[in-house]
């Protein structure tokens, strides 16, 4: 009996499969977290670009400046505020970053605001 017990205790066959099964969920979770960080960074860059485009359109007296900012951030949920002023066009873009859906984690939302300022140009004659 002692020999059979010793044979199975010293046997290491299958240990790699067990280690893989134990580590696989952590590897997948790490990949999803890295993907989420990439999505947040991407939406931040797109939001900054949208704010800059909207401020530029407002600075040249384009009445569609808000639509310009929204079109510039296509595919990302944005809310555009601000607009042309007397000296500067100041546009704020509130961005809601896309979220990777993870099991066992409830609603998450990453919302942040970026802004851009452009000096107003002279109104065209006409």
- pLDDT digit string (tens) for 45-68? 999 999 999 999 999 999 999 999
49 vs 1, which has greater pLDDT? 49
Please report, for the chain, the start and end positions of each structural domain, with discontinuous segments joined by +: 10-119
* CA–CA dist 83, 101 (Å, integer): 35
What is the pTM for the complete model shown? 0.76
Order of strands, sheet of 77-84, starting from the edge strand that comes earlier in the sequence: 77-84, 88-96, 111-119
Question: How far is residue 63 CA from its own chain's centroid?
Answer: 29
């Amino acid at each position: 009996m002692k020999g059979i017990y010793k044979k199975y205790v010293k046997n290491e066959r299958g240990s790699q499969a067990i280690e893989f099964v134990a580590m696989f969920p952590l590897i997948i979770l790490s990949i999803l977290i890295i993907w989420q960080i990439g999505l947040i960074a991407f939406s931040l860059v797109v939001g900054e670009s949208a704010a800059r485009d909207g401020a530029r359109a407002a600075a040249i007296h384009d009445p569609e400046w808000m639509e310009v900012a929204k079109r510039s951030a296509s595919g990302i949920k944005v809310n555009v505020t601000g607009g042309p002023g007397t000296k500067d066009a100041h546009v704020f873009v509130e961005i809601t970053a896309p979220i990777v859906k993870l099991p066992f984690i409830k609603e998450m939302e990453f919302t942040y605001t970026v802004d851009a300022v452009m000096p107003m140009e002279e109104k065209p004659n006409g």
